[in-house]
Structures are given as C-alpha cells and as structure tokens.
Amino acid sequence: MAESEEEVDVLVQRVVKDICNAFRRNPNIDEIGLIPCLEARYNRSPIVLVENKLGVESWCVKLLLPYVHNKLVLYRQRKLWLDRDALTDLTCTLLLLNPDFTTTWNVRRWVFQKIVQEICLPNSRNNSNSGMVSTEQMHRIIQDEMTVCSAAAGRYPSNYNAWSHRIWVLQHVAKCNLKILLDELSNTKYWVSTHVSDHSGFHYRQFLLKSVAGNSRSAAVTNTGSFLRKSSHKDHRTGLPAHPKDEGASVEAHTADVPLMIEEEMELCTDLIESYPGHEALWCHRRCVFYLWHCWNREHLQVLSDSNSRSDGTVNNLQMTTAGSYSSRGMDVDGAAETAKQSYTQETKRLKRGPSLDLHSLLEEHRFVDAILAGCSNSEQARFATAYRKWLDMVIGQ
C-alpha cells in the first residue's frame, strides 16, 4: 500500500511518541525487541509492551530508523533543537535497535564530554583538587558506561564501535587511570574467554596492556593518588606502599608489575588456544602480547645491560636482575640452548648477540607451537600455528 511522504511522517511521529510514552509509563524497560511482522495490521500501534520489554513490529523499523537518524543529523547540524531527554530517548532507541550505529556513539561521546566538563574544573590537570565526591561520581559514570559498552558488545560480534567507545572513555574521561585500566583487565577477562572469536574484545585488552606498560614507562604520576588509596585491588599489582597514608609515595610504588601482567596475559592466551582450537583472534592476540613482551624486554634489558657492561653480564646475571621473568621455571638458558641447538642453530647464533631473556621466551614460543601442531586435529588450528611460527621467525627472530 503506497503511502505519501506526509502520511509516513505522521505515522512515524506517532510511533516515536508511542515509544517515548512507553518509556515514561514504565521506567523499568530494559529491552526493545523486534517482532517479526511484514505489514501493519488494522491501524494498530506497532509498539507492544510486555513486562519490561518493549516490542516494535518490524515493518515500521525501516521507517523509524531513517527518521530518527535524520533527526540526529539535523540536531548535529544545528538545524533542529532537541532537549536532553529527547536526545537520550533517540540515542537509546537507536543503540538498542542497532548497536553498531556510529553516529549514535558520537552523540553519546558528545554528551559525555559535556558531563565531564560540568563535573571537573576545566583547568585542573589531575583530579586531586576536585575532592572525593566528584572522583566517585566520575568512577560511577565510567563504570556505567563500561556496562553499556559491554551490553552492546554482547549483542553484535566484534562490535568495533562499542569497543572503540570504551577505549575513548578510558582515554578522555578516565584519563588512563592505572587502577581503572587494571580493573578493566580483570573485568573483561571472563568476557573474552567466552567470546573467543571476538577480535574487538581482544584488541581492547591489547589497548589496556599497552596503556599500562606505557604508564609504567613514563615517570609522570597521573591521577593515581585518590584511586589507589581507596583501592581494595590486589596490592601486589599496583605496588601500593605498606602504609596507605603515605601520600608522598614514589612513582615506583604506583606502577604495575608489567612483566607479571604480560605473563598472565600469555597464560590466558595459551589456555584459550588449547581449549578452543581454531580461532584466529586468539593467535592474533598472542602476536600482540608477545610483541609487547619483546619490546618491553628490549628496552629494559638494554638499560640493565648498559649498567652491567662492566660486570660479567652473563646470562644468569641478566635473568636475575630483570624484574620478573617470563617463565619462572628457573631453567638454565644455556642448557636450553644446548638441547635445542640441533633445530635452532641459526636462531641461537643470531640471538646470542641479543638479550638472552628474549631467546628464552622465543624458544618457549617455538615449543608451544610444536606442542600445538603435534596434538591438534583441527586444520584451522594447524594453519594458525604454522603462521604464528613464521611470524616469530620473520619478526622476532630478526
């Protein structure tokens, strides 16, 4: 049945009104869903409310989405005014119907920026002057937004927009606060373990790892004071001083144990690769984490070997002085090189010039790949393992 543009407009406006009224009548609505329905029936509203679920008959969605999208675009172009409630309703509707809608996330970020400006003093670089109240509010707002992102990520595989938004919030609202980064690492561990083919989820963890490593690298202490004092988080991770009242804690006390963090991530990766064969996202993640480990080693061993240049600088010296080893099995690296000599002569000759801890890690990786290839019957897994080995040789082995 052909309808004129005006009729469609009137109809859609009524539908949007029905939706907004439903929200006002029932503030506990937690879900909007589609009711598959090819055509409108008997002039009935396509909006159905059952318990706390709002249903939208599918025939009207193709009319609703362009209308709402258009409104948002006009608002952004300042050709149309929408108050905060209307804006929230619109973006909420859009996100629930289509969690991958880029413009909606943009609007959400814009709203966020306004909130942040309201709460924070515009020229304070760190939050220590804002008082405990605003820090707590901020923390809560950030947590809520993480939940929104998580919910959106769960409804759509590899939801790039949801995860990018999550990163944006950490960068621009949480200002990459160390405790929050570490909390997020902990909070997303179960999620990625149950979404092993979600590239975006793992990319998020890579962002967290790199940020923590970067945080620890720089000498600046940013936003760590009030958060860490209130933290009941694992103390060994954040290196909290024994006396929480110690306000003048040094930088070292507020940095994370990066090698431990990377080691745990590698363990998680190993565990998932072994449990769930044939998922490329896991192998991609392994590359990123190992590469991070490789770069971290290079930087830190360089510093140490420079200061050790007078001493023996033997393998064992380096192994003991480096903060945390990749594998705490206490293997004698020379011994390992000896037994692996037959297979890896080229590698060992080349790598003996470099930091020996790296060689140890690299051999471990090769052993891991061999074990996977020996035990797996999944052709994809074999393919990914072989490609990973190639990458090790080409990128790390150089």
Residues that bind other proteins (CB under 8 A): 31, 33-38, 48, 50, 53, 55, 58, 61-62, 65, 97-98, 154, 157, 194-197, 274-277, 279, 375, 377-378
Q: Are strands 53-57 and 31-35 parallel, antiparallel or unpaired?
A: parallel
CB of 16 to other proteins, least distance (A): 17
Cα R_g (the chain), whole angstroms: 27
Q: Which is nearer to other proteins, 46 or 355 (CB)?
A: 46
Burial 168-186 (b: 16+ CB within 10 A, else e): bbbeebbbbbbbbbbbbbe
Name the nearest CA neighbour of 231 among 214, 249, 213, 217. Answer: 249
Q: Which is nearer to other proteins, 85 or 271 (CB)?
A: 271
In whole angstroms, what is the distance from residue 377 CA to residue 187 CA?
A: 33
Other Cβ atoms closer than 10 A to 373: 13
Q: Which is nearer to other proteins, 60 or 396 (CB)?
A: 60
CB of 151 to other proteins, least distance (A): 12
CB of 61 to other proteins, least distance (A): 6
CB of 198 to other proteins, least distance (A): 9
Nearby residues of 81 by Cβ (< 8 Å), 6 or more positions away: 75
Residue 56's φ and ψ, nearest 5 degrees, are: -125, 120
Name the nearest CA neighbour of 179 among 206, 211, 156. Answer: 211
Q: Which is nearer to other proteins, 30 or 136 (CB)?
A: 30
CB of 196 to other proteins, least distance (A): 5
CB of 377 to other proteins, least distance (A): 5
In whole angstroms, what is the distance from residue 187 CA to residue 192 CA?
A: 10
Q: Which is nearer to other proteins, 63 or 340 (CB)?
A: 63
CB of 281 to other proteins, least distance (A): 10
Nearby residues of 208 by Cβ (< 8 Å), 6 or more positions away: 170, 181, 184, 185, 188
Q: Which is nearer to other proteins, 31 or 235 (CB)?
A: 31
Angle of CA points 176, 180, 186, to nearest 5°: 125
Local structure of 137: helix, strand or coil: helix
Q: Which is nearer to other proteins, 156 or 168 (CB)?
A: 156
CB of 96 to other proteins, least distance (A): 10
**Length of the chain, please?**
398
Q: Which is nearer to other proteins, 201 or 355 (CB)?
A: 201
In whole angstroms, what is the distance from residue 243 CA to residue 143 CA?
A: 28
In whole angstroms, what is the distance from residue 250 CA to residue 246 CA?
A: 9
Q: Which residue has the tokens 């011994």?
A: 335
Q: Which is nearer to other proteins, 34 or 74 (CB)?
A: 34
In whole angstroms, what is the distance from residue 219 CA to residue 4 CA?
A: 65
Other Cβ atoms closer than 10 A to 132: 11
For the record, the structure tokens of 283 come out as 């192998």
